[in-house]
Structure 1
Amino acid sequence: MNYFSDDKEWPWLLDNAIDWDRIIPLYYPKFPTEDGFQNKDEIIDFIKELLTQTGAWTSTAVLERAAALDKIGAGKVENGITIPSDELAAFYKEAAELQVFGLPVPQDVGGLGLPLGPLMIVLSQLARACMSSCTQFAFFTSMADMVHRYCDDETQQRIIPQICAGTMSGSMCLTEPGCGSDLGMIKTSATPTDDGKYLLNGAKIFITNGGGGLGFVLARIKDAPEGLAGISMFLCEQNIGGDKLNYRVTKNEEKMGMHGSFTTEVVYENSTATLVGEQGKGFKYMLHLMNEARIAVGMQALGGIEGCLDYALKYATEREQFGRPLTELPLMKRNLSDFTTERDAIRALMVDTVSHFDIYQNLDKKKSHTGELNKKETKMHDEAWIWTRKRTPLVKYYACEAYTHLSQRAIQVLGGYGYMEEYPVERYHRDSFGPLLYEGTSQIQALMALKDVVKYAAKDPKKFFSSVFAKHPTANFVSADHFSVKEFNKIQYKFKKNTIKLLMKCLRPESIGDIFNPKAWTAESNIEELMTHAETLCQALSYMETLRVLAIHSEQDESRLDLFKRYEILVRPRLEMIYTDWSIR
């Protein structure tokens, strides 16, 4: 099965769910292009051909190697460096030959210069076959983006072609033994030298691909203020000449899953590094990568969902019990329908989010390089940023939680066979806990989503509360003529009313005179009470955003109405459970 051309959902989404009319002019401002593309349609056709090629590669070579890579592992740590296993080295070689490391990399530094969407789809294809391969791959493309965004021309021209060729990759070095989610506690130090460089001292743990050759490291310069304001970012390369490594990889962790991916400890001992950007801006720069990484992890989780359900559905179709295939037994039939409905709905949400993020990413990079955008670009940038900011914690939370849940259910479809290493569903389930935890746990994502809601409500309480009660459900985001839009507006209206009840219950000021005073809504004790509802609020927001996307798609194409209806049936009981929880806790 080709993961692109043989899956009817992906071609439809590529044609209809990505805003090519806005995205393509950002990458190709005039036609014909230097590559000979005559118009938008030719570019989209090229992307389809590319994704068909990667769909064939991932569904054969990458998938066939996945079990062996899981058993043998990513490789070993020896004399301070990581040495890939034969299986991982073979994957790198194939990816380099296909030129996929350079998909979104600008052409002037050795890449293909494509929009971000194709890369994100390739990530899902890789994860569908092998989560470990996908993770290792991501630390080529993300490093190229960071170098291109934040480093000088000489560094770009020296490093990025090596990344595109598959001979160098890297890592994001944040976590320390006493510092996980609270990055303000970072202890790794950076001491300036006379030649403008810095010497790093400290250790980082749980670093994915720590031996790739370079790392973006968060550290604190001597006398810098405490907390996040004192954190700076540094580029540190492992080989800088001479017979001594600039930093050492000391350990590869033994993990529950994702055995084919390196998770390392990295030690810096007077390691020479270059300051990236300005002092004290390290956390800000890291947030850029974390936004992209969290959306990418959502795509990883989607691929994992697709992979485990691929196998479960195949098994259920072939396996007979009580004289019928499993797919025809009533309870199993309902369960499989629910599983595939959620998979298809999450896929639609992810692609819509990637479309917004692609616009934001392109214009934000232009803004950082040139310092300005025109009026039209500024409007597009700001609008895309609103959606990116809103969606990022939701897609990371929802897709990753669903992957762990649905991979467990895939095991149950196989019964006892699902518990055996001979079958791949147990690997998908073990691997699912990686995306669930890295780039911020589900609880961190829920708190981010909650923060955005509280910030919006506290900014102008009167406007926030009146926006619900002053509007009838039909006066909403698009024309309410279509059935799916009417249904969405009704569900959204009820969601908003219940959300306001929750906020009033937890945050309402004691004095009636402070009702419309923004400061009165942010008392610490009240905020902490609301934080206990962060996960259920994040879940509800995720369902609402998914319904929004499916309603828009079904308005575009009547054939998409069935998915909207099935998903509505799936999540309405969940929303009612959440509202009940809010009312009694």
Structure 2
Amino acid sequence: MRFDFSRIFLSSNVNFYSDDGPMQRVLEFLKYRGRDELSSLGKYVSSEMVEEAMFIDHYSKPVLQTWDVLDERMDGVWISPSHVHVIDRLQSFGVISRPILEKDLMHHFISGYLISDSGLFCTLTLTMQTAYALQKYGNDHVRNTYLNRFISHENPWLGATYYTEIQGGSDLGANRTVAVPDGDAWRITGSDKYFASNSGLADASVVTARIQGAPQGAKGISTFFVPALDSNGNPNYRIRRLKDKLGTIAVPTGEVELDHSEGYLLGDLQTGIYIAMEILTVSRIDDAIAAVGIARKALWEAYRYAQKREAFGKALSNHPLVQRDLVEMEAEVEASMAISILSASLFSGVWDVRPPYSREYHFARTLSHMAKNLASWSSDYVTRYAMELLGGKGFLHEFPIEKFHRDSIVTSIWEGTSNIQALDLLEVLLKKDVLKDLREYLSKLLEEISDKDIRSTMDDMVRDSFSRAANYLSSEQREFYAKDVLDLLATTTASVLLYAVAFKTGDTGMRMIATVYRWKHFDPERKEPEIYKFALKHMEWMAHSSP
């Protein structure tokens, strides 16, 4: 008798791509037509990957193997054969190869929404970052030597980024790792790469280091491509240990020691910190995408459970309070999903741009900060409340919901916490005058709203939000208010965008969801049960599954 995972995961027969109506509306609005691979991936994730990911999380976490049987350092991480299989299978859907071969970076981002397992997708995110950096900033020799290994059909390489050091955390300007030239290569030394995810699995990594004589602070940072094995086939760095973590178990996170490690400069010495941050933007968008993807899975599961579970004489989904909960959670998911996919689309349109960056690049970067912060906190709320809708079962290790929540928590932490996103947004708003560009973009979105009353209401809301944001930015205490600016601009943008998508695509249910989102964030005293009931009907797509 085969174990039936569908008995503990009610969403195991859905297609996370083709069955997701709101996501399809956003892609339609952005004029992105996904490949058939995305539909195949959406089915694979629900029918196989979620089960494999849960088993890895519970019973098969990665193990560091420091020495081989002949007493030689190997510094490899041992994962189960099923873990190897699921990574290979995910790569077969073009998650890395499509962007590199066809410059279809959106294929990677949408794949991340479908996969949205923080552990497994972290491995793929880090691989995408490494391949992206190599393709865009590696010299001809390094690119020709290594790039094809990341898109090979057989045993494709995995990547990593080793930025963070124990003494600095998000402050890359505090990096102490040093690089010195050695012919066509560099020798990199530093013992403090403290949060090195995918270490022991990665075949190569992107590493930040400071060359001798470089200025102090972030502008003294350069960026390097570092293979896991040097040109003689020996381990190129050591892994001191792996971390024990609350979530993201599938991706090993270690501490890496570099000792005259062989590396190759990416870009030039003067733009290293900009290149490092650009590469980081890829993972910040992935973070937003994955966060909202986790939230979608959790809500989908809670919705299906509420339909089938009876309490006090009727299904949970027939209780008004549960209906309200489901609708408000859906509003958070749709708004976060829309702004995250918009961020992905904008960045995909500027990925050829190099320092000094264009105005369009800075606008895309602005959206990445807003999306990352909004999606991560929405995911935290939705996944936690999905646990509550399942009652005590939501808190049990034996059902997927608790894992969704554990994996969602990290999305507001890694790749820059909420404070870091707020400060980075503050910097781009003040130095690049992006607030004006955002206002113009929202004005264009408002034109999509054909209902004059709603458009007038939204126009007033946008005007008020930007007035408040301008006041915060002009204050001598602007850093104190930075998170207020981040939250205000993100929720305003998401609200306008959700209405624009709904009207442009003719989705009246999404219009109701957009209204609930607006009320929740800008008019919290207003709640109309009839609107909630209409919005709930819009959510009935989650009850159905593709063949």
TM-score over 0.5 (shorter chain): yes
8 Å Cα contact 1:81-1:248 kept in structure 2:
no
Letter of the 1:90 partner, please give it.
H
Show the 5 A alignment for 1:155-174.
155-165=142-152, 166-174=155-163
Deviations 1:273-332 (A, max 9, x none): 222222242211111111221111100101111111122112211111110111111111
Show the 5 A alignment for 1:67-216.
67-79=54-66, 80-106=75-101, 113=102, 115-127=104-116, 130-165=117-152, 166-193=155-182, 195-203=183-191, 204-211=193-200, 212-216=202-206
Q: How far apart are the structure 2 equivalents of 1:69 and 1:131?
A: 12
Residue in 1 that maps onto 2:407: 431
Q: How far apart are the structure 1 equivalents of 2:426 and 2:222?
A: 27
Matched, 1:567 2:517: yes
Instruction: Give the deviation of 1:19 after TM superposition.
Output: 4.1
Instruction: Give the deviation of 1:456 after TM superposition.
Output: 6.6
Deviations 1:82-113 (A, max 9, x none): 2222232111231344443312112xxxxxx1
Deviations 1:223-270 (A, max 9, x none): 222112221112211212446311112211110111111111111111
8 Å Cα contact 1:72-1:260 kept in structure 2:
no
Q: How far apart are the structure 2 equivalents of 1:557 and 1:240?
A: 53
Identity of aligned residues (%): 22
8 Å Cα contact 2:180-2:186 kept in structure 1:
yes
Matched, 1:538 2:508: no
SS at the partner of 1:178?
coil
Residue in 1 that maps onto 2:539: none
Which has the higher mean CA deviation after the structures are superposed, 543-552 or 237-246? 237-246
8 Å Cα contact 2:189-2:259 kept in structure 1:
yes
- Taking a change above 3 Å as real, the CA distance of residues 452 and 219 of structure 1, as seen in their structure-2 partners, is closer
Structure 1: tracts of 5 or more residues without a match? 21-43, 107-112, 372-380, 508-525, 577-585
Q: How far apart are the structure 2 equivalents of 1:571 and 1:83?
A: 46
Which has the higher mean CA deviation after the structures are superposed, 325-334 or 495-504? 495-504
Q: How far apart are the structure 2 equivalents of 1:443 and 1:19?
A: 33
Residue in 1 that maps onto 2:71: none
8 Å Cα contact 1:353-1:387 kept in structure 2:
no
TM-score, normalization: structure 2? 0.84
Residue in 2 that maps onto 1:4: 17
Show the 5 A alignment for 1:319-398.
319-361=309-351, 363-364=352-353, 382=358, 384-398=360-374
Q: How far apart are the structure 1 equivalents of 2:448 and 2:162?
A: 47
- Taking a change above 3 Å as real, the CA distance of residues 114 and 277 of structure 1, as seen in their structure-2 partners, is closer
- Taking a change above 3 Å as real, the CA distance of residues 93 and 480 of structure 1, as seen in their structure-2 partners, is closer
Q: How far apart are the structure 2 equivalents of 1:488 and 1:391?
A: 19
Q: How far apart are the structure 1 equivalents of 2:284 and 2:91?
A: 25
Residue in 2 that maps onto 1:404: 380
Show the 5 A alignment for 1:547-558.
547-558=495-506
Instruction: Give the deviation of 1:48 after TM superposition.
Output: 3.8
- Taking a change above 3 Å as real, the CA distance of residues 198 and 311 of structure 1, as seen in their structure-2 partners, is same
8 Å Cα contact 1:476-1:489 kept in structure 2:
no
SS at the partner of 2:99?
coil
Letter of the 2:175 partner, please give it.
I
8 Å Cα contact 2:340-2:372 kept in structure 1:
no
Which has the higher mean CA deviation after the structures are superposed, 131-140 or 422-431? 131-140
Greater Rg over alpha carbons, structure:
1
Q: How far apart are the structure 2 equivalents of 1:210 and 1:137?
A: 13
Deviations 1:563-583 (A, max 9, x none): 32222222213699xxxxxxx
Show the 5 A alignment for 1:32-51.
44=33, 47-51=34-38
| RMSD over aligned Cα atoms | 2.8
Instruction: Give the deviation of 1:54 after TM superposition.
Output: 0.9
8 Å Cα contact 2:135-2:143 kept in structure 1:
yes
Q: How far apart are the structure 2 equivalents of 1:265 and 1:503?
A: 39
Matched, 1:18 2:7: no
Q: How far apart are the structure 2 equivalents of 1:536 and 1:575?
A: 20
Deviations 1:153-206 (A, max 9, x none): 33223322221234311211111110111111111111223x232221112111
- Taking a change above 3 Å as real, the CA distance of residues 142 and 487 of structure 1, as seen in their structure-2 partners, is same
8 Å Cα contact 1:75-1:82 kept in structure 2:
yes
- Taking a change above 3 Å as real, the CA distance of residues 103 and 574 of structure 1, as seen in their structure-2 partners, is farther
Q: How far apart are the structure 2 equivalents of 1:347 and 1:474?
A: 20
SS at the partner of 2:179?
strand
Show the 5 A alignment for 1:473-484.
478=447, 482-483=451-452, 484=454
Deviations 1:465-484 (A, max 9, x none): xx99xx9x999963775334
Instruction: Give the deviation of 1:18 after TM superposition.
Output: 1.9
Matched, 1:55 2:55: no
Show the 5 A alignment for 1:289-308.
289-308=279-298
Deviations 1:56-79 (A, max 9, x none): 111112112121110134422112
SS at the partner of 2:523?
helix
SS at the partner of 1:257?
coil
Q: How far apart are the structure 1 equivalents of 2:251 and 2:448?
A: 47
Letter of the 1:7 partner, please give it.
D
Q: How far apart are the structure 2 equivalents of 1:221 and 1:481?
A: 57
- Taking a change above 3 Å as real, the CA distance of residues 19 and 385 of structure 1, as seen in their structure-2 partners, is farther
Instruction: Give the deviation of 1:404 after TM superposition.
Output: 1.1
Equivalent in 452, 455, 462 of residue 485 of structure 1: 455
8 Å Cα contact 1:191-1:200 kept in structure 2:
yes
Letter of the 1:263 partner, please give it.
T
Show the 5 A alignment for 1:214-363.
214-242=204-232, 244-361=234-351, 363=352
Letter of the 2:197 partner, please give it.
T
SS at the partner of 1:530?
coil
* Matched residue count: 497
Instruction: Give the deviation of 1:438 after TM superposition.
Output: 0.9
The structure that is helix-richer by fraction is 1
Q: How far apart are the structure 2 equivalents of 1:268 and 1:19?
A: 45
Q: How far apart are the structure 1 equivalents of 2:397 and 2:282?
A: 33
Q: How far apart are the structure 1 equivalents of 2:295 and 2:184?
A: 48
Letter of the 1:145 partner, please give it.
Y
Matched, 1:443 2:455: no
- Taking a change above 3 Å as real, the CA distance of residues 237 and 477 of structure 1, as seen in their structure-2 partners, is same
- Taking a change above 3 Å as real, the CA distance of residues 476 and 141 of structure 1, as seen in their structure-2 partners, is closer
Q: How far apart are the structure 2 equivalents of 1:148 and 1:439?
A: 22
8 Å Cα contact 2:331-2:514 kept in structure 1:
no
Q: Which has the higher contact order (CA 8 A, sep 6+)?
A: 2
- Taking a change above 3 Å as real, the CA distance of residues 455 and 477 of structure 1, as seen in their structure-2 partners, is farther
SS at the partner of 1:531?
coil
Instruction: Give the deviation of 1:400 after TM superposition.
Output: 0.5
TM-score, normalization: structure 1? 0.79
Q: How far apart are the structure 2 equivalents of 1:100 and 1:220?
A: 32
8 Å Cα contact 2:123-2:159 kept in structure 1:
no
